[in-house]
Amino acid sequence: MKKFFRSKPFILLMLLVLIAAFFAYRSDGMSLKLFNIRTILNQILISALLAIGAAYLMISGNLDLSSGATGTLCGVMMAILIRAGVVWPVAVILSLLLGGAVGLINAALINELNFQGFIATMAVASVAEGLTYVASDAHVVKIENETLAAIANGRFLDNTIPYAMIGVFALFLIYGIVLSRSKFGRQVYLVGGNRRAANLSGINPKKMSYMLFMNNAMLACVAGCLVTSRVMSGQIAGTTAQNFSGITAAILGGVSFGGGSGSVGGIILGLLIISGFSNGLTVMHVEMQWVQVASGLLLILALALDFFTSRGPALRRTRLARKSA
């Protein structure tokens, strides 16, 4: 029990409770109304898809800054294909292949040309943004498709729970089980914790890097297609603005920048904290620019929490070893 109370999931849970209690008090209970909770859960779906892919990559010791731009490009491409007369399942598949190709390029730049991940993925993000503007002629690409609209916006159980929410949480469950219970998940942790040891034990870190970059890009593509399906148009902003929300949720949820640690359950708590925090400020009628400032401060808090819970103890042990020597 003592170990649990000191764990990061417990700290995050307490932080979520404090945020919920604070905003409930300041908004006279409005933030805890059923419709507002449903709004919060609906808002995190796009960030959740970005966070899953980001978490797997970060646990393996990598980082992708092109996810948001990739999702936007794929969402716009799906809209363009549908406008051109391509049936929607084929348009979705072709968009997923495009996303996979972007992930493949990221992995190739890092593994074959030895580019730094930060620089390589930032450059790819710039290219993806440019291609989005070129393909759409810098205009919104409007579409009409009742099936996609029903999938993205439809609800069941008395018009209460969105279909998309069930799909995203099913993905969370699958990815969570794979990460915590499968051989592949253990390999992801091992590669992130000690790449050389992973190589000596027969794991191919380069091959895994390709798989995880492509997985991340394709999840970003799903997020972009979901945005397009929700509003029935390919938006040139799309998921780009939410790029860092997935990374922030992963870090806040316990995924370390150094790799080798983190869990899908922690990411869910991180997403709820971020979305609940932003939603609470909105309910209190805080101006949008201050919401952005507060979100940036939350990212700083997440990075500080990552440092003190993972790197801080290691640094303290190093100092003690030096003093004893």
Higher pLDDT, 194 or 108: 108
- Can you give the pLDDT at residue 3? 65
Report the share of the chain in percent with pLDDT over 90. Answer: 39
The pLDDT of residue 244 is 78
Amino acid in position 309: T
Decide which of 198 and 98 is more confident: 98
The pLDDT, as a whole number, for residue 66 is 92
3-class SS shares of the chain: helix, strand, coil, % to 5: 80, 0, 20
Q: Is the pLDDT of residue 266 over 60?
A: yes
Q: How does pLDDT run across 178-229, given as a tens digit for each residue?
A: 998 999 999 999 998 888 888 888 889 999 999 999 999 999 999 999 999 9
d(CA 184, CA 193): 14
Judged against a pLDDT cut of 90, whether residue 270 lies above it is answered with no
Decide if pLDDT at 25 tops 90: no
- Using CA atoms, how far apart are residues 184 and 45, in angstroms rounded to an integer? 25
Which residues, other chains included, contact 321 with Cβ-Cβ below 8 Å and sequence gap of 6+? Answer: none
Distance CA 189, CA 165 (A): 28
- Residues with Cβ within 8 Å of 5's Cβ and at least 6 positions away in sequence, in order, are none
Across 44-56, average pLDDT: 90
Question: Where along the chain do its domains lie?
Answer: 44-272
Q: Note whether 306 and 257 are within 8 A (CB).
A: yes
Q: Nearest Cα to 20, choosing from 262, 245, 247, 283? A: 283
> Which residue, among 10, 9, 52, 59, has the nearest Cα to 264 in the 3D structure?
52
For 163-187, b where at least 16 C-beta lie within 10 A, e where not — what string? Answer: ebbebbeebbeebbeebeeeeebeb
Q: Indicate the pTM of the whole model.
A: 0.87
Sequence-ordered strand ranges (E) for 216-310: 233-234
The answer, yes or no, to whether residue 315 has pLDDT greater than 60, is no
**For range 4-29, the mean pLDDT:** 80
Residue type present at position 105: I
Neighbours of 52 (CB within 10 A): 28
CB 94 within 8 A of CB 290: no
Which tokens belong to 71?
Answer: 């999702």
Q: What is the pLDDT of residue 18?
A: 87
**pLDDT exceeds 60 at position 313:** no
Measured between alpha carbons, how far is 314 from 318 in angstroms, rounded to an integer? Answer: 6
8 A C-beta contact, residue 237 and residue 46: no
